Amino acid sequence: MRNLLFFLLFSVFINSYAQNSLDLDPITLTNSRNPQKLSETGRSITVLDGSLFKQLPVFSIDELLKYVPGVEVQSRGPMGAQSDIVMRGGTFQQVLVLVDGIKLNDPITGHFSSYIPIAPSEIERIEILRGPAAAIYGSEAVGGVINVITKTFNQYKKEKNTVAKVGLALGEFGLINSNAGFNSTGPKINSSIGILSNNASGQLLRGPTRGYLYNHTMSASVAILLKYNWQLSLRSSYDSRDFAAQNFYTTYKSDTATEKVNTWWNQLQLKQQKGKYKQQIDLLYKETYDQYLYNPRSIANENKSKLLMIQYLYSQKLNQQLNLSFGAQLDKRFINSNDRGNHSTQHGAVFGNILFNQNDWKIAPSLRLDLDENYGTALLPQLNIAYQLNRLTLRTNVGKAIRGADFTERFNNYNKTIVSGGSIGNPNLDTENSWSYETGVDLLVSNFLKLSATGFYRDQNNVIDFVNTPYAAMPRKDNLVVGSNYALAKNIQKLTTKGIEFELAYKTKISSDENLLINTGVTFLKSISTESTPSFYIISHARILLQSNLIYACKKFSLATNFIYKKRDALSASAIDASISRDYFLWNTKVNYKIVKKLEIFISINNITNIIYSDLLGSRMPGRWSTAGVNFNF
């Protein structure tokens, strides 16, 4: 690993002769919902171009996020089967995922947050904000925010252009991957259609079971220019996941689970930008169907959820130094389940943000009033400050966040006749609340190289996690078995997390047909909990996380490689002969060669060194997996 790090750093400095730099200070929307230069936000933000999906050795959006510095993706299976997204410690429930600024997180569980119902060909960019943003976005924005920004909902393009792309890949273990997209722009209409499909019989798991997967995403969107500077954008997408889920949630030998998750996503956006002000209305309707079968002798859990949301945003530039924005949000969540029962809850909020721009100072206070059926009212403040001095940016922020329990944390396994083990919900859970503090520095060493360092501290109360609990200590025993042990959803009285992040970004255009991109980062984390029995998800996060992406393109040839090094606590489950190693190093690579202008071939090797590893106890990830394919560009 030392040799690889040396190679990355060496590549940066031997290319200092480069002629043109790519943008290391892009415009971002996620911090305040208003366009800002990244250096002006006072936040730690990484912006990924949508084209990276095609260039890197990844097959799903969660795999793309896995190698982004500061984002820990705890995968249970490959190629979009299931992943938990964690940022700055804590749990997977504390990361908010957005599609064009609209909440994606499902009412059933945060395990579904990586099921992003957008085909890669539709993605303009992905913005990753580390740290809290609850004052702007509300619940779940505790550890960070991931905002997927699509082409049709982003800036409207009036020039006529049509692009079509089709890719097909075949690989070991019956892998068939297809990825297609169509994008069209013009004076009156922008439209986009995309498909991503991953299918494989899979590698052997415990026993004769194979880690099969049949995962498909289909999305279509259109943007229409109307009178008086209004733009109407519409999207409908369908996401289907069918995969082996053996030991995804338990460490029992009888667990040979399979799971199917189907999501139907419908989104409408109406926005107007005129002069110094803009306003926007968003409507969302989302349905999710989840079927989980523990083993062939059990009765499948069937869960159906609905999420309805309406949101209004307004912003205005008052003068050169002052921008004002405010908004309101209302959502209602439903679940119909043979396992968790039938429930609904509603939530509303009003929020505001002011941006002060005074010479080299950028100051942005925000405030949100949350109104929730379960926890009542809550006031969430946030303050971001950035100071720019030539090529140096100093930044700091402080913010409060809050999160109520989802339907799984409240009611899991409540409707079953007999439950002999597994996770048990708790309807009496209190609401999580936390204060986060952050300070950092960004240094633009040259037009090609940017270095960042960030220190942070989060003080949390009543964090919700599952804790091993004997039958005698269970608060409700109606359908439980005497003498059994369960994973009970509990509030952890106090949890503190502190850490430091370092990131290196190097982007350069060496010549007209030669480019180099390097993005490397390392995160050091430490969490201290008052819970005497370690809770499951909090102890799962990495203590040291090193991630990197490298892409070198020259004429007809390109080489992409990424890796992750993770160090965490070792765990074991003797009943299923499973363990989590103290650390692991995972390395992938992809080579592309353009045969003619519109046709290229590629070879990809994932897990080059064929390591045996798991992110979560019991969920074994694949070994070496080789793939070859072809891409057509029209």
Distance CA 24, CA 391 (A): 12
What are phi and psi for residue 234, nearest 5 degrees?
-130, 145
Residue 41 pLDDT more than 90? no
Instruction: Output the pLDDT for position 542.
Output: 94
pLDDT at residue 461, as a whole number = 94
User: 634 pLDDT exceeds 90?
Assistant: no
Dist CA 525 CA 253 (whole Å): 33
With bands split at pLDDT 50, 70 and 90, how would you rate the model's confidence at 8? very low
pLDDT of 70 strictly over 70: yes
Please report the pLDDT score of residue 33 as a whole number.
Answer: 79
* Arithmetic mean of pLDDT, 244-267: 94
- Dihedral sign for Cα 123, 47, 502, 1, please: positive
Tell me the mean pLDDT in the region 541-558: 94
Bigger pLDDT: 95 or 4? 95
Q: Which residue has the tokens 């500077």?
A: 229
Which pLDDT score is estimated for 592? Answer: 95
Nearest to 526 by CA among 569, 582, 473, 462: 569
pLDDT at 93 over 80: yes
Output the pLDDT for position 534: 84
How far from each other are the two terminal CA atoms of the chain, in whole angstroms?
40
Residue 593 CB neighbour total at 10 angstroms: 13
Separation of alpha carbons 190 and 165, rounded Å = 17
**Tokens representing 526?**
């430490």
- pLDDT of the residue at 231: 93
Q: What is the pLDDT of residue 226?
A: 92
State the average pLDDT over residues 387-401.
94
CA neighbor of 542 nearest in space, from 590, 514, 583, 497: 583
Tokens of residue 361, six digits:
């100072």
Q: What is the pLDDT of residues 105-114, one digit of tens each?
A: 999 999 999 9
Q: Answer yes or no: are the C-beta atoms of 303 and 108 closer than 8 Å.
A: yes
pLDDT digits (tens, 9 = 90+) for 256-311: 999 999 999 999 999 998 888 999 999 999 999 999 999 999 999 999 999 999 99
Residues 6+ apart with CB under 8 A from 228: 272, 274
pLDDT of 328 higher than 90:
yes
Is residue 375 over pLDDT 50? Answer: yes
Task: Judge contact between 80 and 61, C-beta under 8 A.
Answer: yes
Helices vs. strands in the chain: H and E counts, helices first: 5, 35
Q: For residues 265 and 287, give the distance between their C-alpha atoms in angstroms, rounded to a whole number.
A: 7
Stretch 474-490: mean pLDDT, rounded?
93
Phi, psi of 534 (to 5 degrees): -55, 130
For residue 2, pLDDT over 80 is answered with no
Model confidence at 32, pLDDT cuts 50, 70, 90, reads: confident
CB of 148 within 8 A of CB of 609? no
Q: What is the mean pLDDT of residues 25-48?
A: 85
602: Cβ–Cβ under 8 A, 6 or more apart, which residues?
A: 169, 590, 591, 592, 593, 628, 629, 630, 631
Mean pLDDT within 344-350: 96
pLDDT for the residue numbered 10: 42
Q: What is the pLDDT of residues 486-529, one digit of tens each?
A: 999 999 989 999 999 999 999 988 887 889 999 999 999 999 99
Beta strands in 338-431 (DSSP E): 341-358, 361-372, 376-389, 392-403, 423-424
Q: Domains plus CATH for the chain?
A: 2-633 (2.40.170.20)
Q: Read off the amino acid at residue 103.
A: K
* pLDDT at site 446: 87
Res. 398: pLDDT tops 80: yes
| pLDDT at residue 274, rounded to an integer | 86
What is the model's pTM?
Answer: 0.93
The predicted pLDDT at position 207 comes to 84
